[in-house]
Structure 1
Amino acid sequence: MLGDRRDTRAAIAAPPEQIERGVDYPATPVDAALLCLALDPRDGSEFKPAAIGSAEPLSCMTMQENTVTSTIVIDAPPARVWAVLTDFANYPDWHPSLEVLAGQAERGSALHMRIAAGTPAERVAEGEVLEVEPDRLLVWEGGMKGLLWGRHTFELTADGTATHLVNTESFTGAMAADVLTASRALLEAEFAAANEALKALVES
C-alpha cells in the first residue's frame, strides 16, 4: 500500500489512464470520492481506495452504485412487448417520462433522450445502446459521465403466454447516492408508471 496521502493527491490530479489500478491508496472519504470521480464510472470495479481507519478497501462501484427496479407481468408474449420497447420513435405516445429523440434499438446506436419529460427535473442526455437480444434483453446507458451515469435494462421472460418484465436502472457517479437518497420514491413511481403504461398499450 502507498503510505503517503501525497500519493493519493497525485492520483486525483493525474489523467485517468495514469491512475494505477490494484493499489490501495490511503484515502479519506472525500479523497475516495474524488479518486472515483477521476476514473471513468464504468472502470471503477477494479479500483479500491482504502479508507483511512478502515481495514477494508472501498470499491468505487460499491460506494456509488444505486439501482431502481420495477417488475410487471404483461398478458402478451415477449415478441409483442419487444416490438413496443424497441419502437423508440413512438415512446412519446405511451411512456410518461421518457422520449428518445434520436437513435435506434441497435447495438452501438447513439441515443439522444429527454429524461423525466414533463417534470421539473426534465433534462436531455446522450447515451448508447449496449445490448440487443430480440424478445429478451435491451440495455442502454447514458447521462453525465462521472456525475450521474445510468445503465437501463429491460429484461423479458416468457411466463406461459404472458411476459415477465424487469425494468432496471443502475446509477453510478459522484451524484448517484445523493440523487437516489432524495429521489428514490419518485424514480420508483416513474418506473412503475412506465410499466403500467406499457402493459396497457400492449394489452389493448
Structure 2
Amino acid sequence: MAAVIQTSIRIGAAPEIVWNILTDFGEMPNWNPFVQAIEGQAEVGRKIKVKLPGMTFKPVVKAFDKNRRFRWLGHFFVPGIFDGEHYFELEDNGDGTTTFHHGEQFNGWLVPLFKGNMLEKTRQGFEAMNRALKEKAEL
C-alpha cells in the first residue's frame, strides 16, 4: 500500500540561495516549523538524524545533488512496515527564481492505518516549511 504527498512553491530566489538555506542544518531550527533539526553528514548512503514535531528518526540519504535535490528514506522499526521516502527538489526556472518541490512517498503494510488525518497534517507541515523557506530566501 502506498500514499503520496506532493507540494510545490515558487520562490523568488536562485536555486543556489534556496539550497544554501535548505542545507544549512545549524540554522534550520531558527526558520523551519516542520523539520526542526537535521544532524549528521548528508552524503549518499549515510544515516542522518531528523527531528520533526513529535518524532525523531534516522533515515539514510538517497540523493544529495547540490542545488538540485536531497532525498532520504526512513523506516518505522524495520523496512516494509512503514517506510517514507522524503524529497526536496529545486527546479531552476531560468529567470532567477526556483520552484521548490517537497514531498514524500509512504509504503508498507501500516500505511492504510495512517491515511487521512496523518497525511493531511503532514501535508500542512510541508506547506508551512515551504512558505518559511520562501520567506527566508526572498529576504
The two structures have a TM-score, normalised by structure 1, of 0.63
What is the aligned-residue identity percentage? 29
Aligned residues: 136
Pairing 1:177–2:112 present: yes
**Cross-structure match for 2:10:** 73
Q: Higher strand fraction: Structure 1 or Structure 2?
A: 2
Alpha-carbon RMSD across the aligned residues, in angstroms, is 1.4
**Cross-structure match for 2:19:** 82
- 1:199 Cα deviation (Å)? 0.6
What per-residue deviation string (whole Å, max 9, x for no partner) do you get for residues 15-72 of structure 1? xxxxxxxxxxxxxxxxxxxxxxxxxxxxxxxxxxxxxxxxxxxxxxxxx111111100
Q: Higher helix fraction: Structure 1 or Structure 2?
A: 1
Greater relative contact order structure (CA < 8 Å, 6+ sep): 2
Aligned counterparts of 1:165 and 1:101: Cα–Cα separation in 2: 19
**Cross-structure match for 1:102:** 39
**Cross-structure match for 1:168:** 103
- 1:101 Cα deviation (Å)? 4.4
Pairing 1:153–2:123 present: no
Structure 1 residue runs of 4+, over 6 Å off? none
Aligned counterparts of 1:151 and 1:102: Cα–Cα separation in 2: 18
What per-residue deviation string (whole Å, max 9, x for no partner) do you get for residues 106-155 of structure 1? 2222111222x2xxxx0121111111111111111113133221111111
Aligned counterparts of 1:143 and 1:92: Cα–Cα separation in 2: 23
The two structures have a TM-score, normalised by structure 2, of 0.90
Unaligned runs of 5+ in 2: none
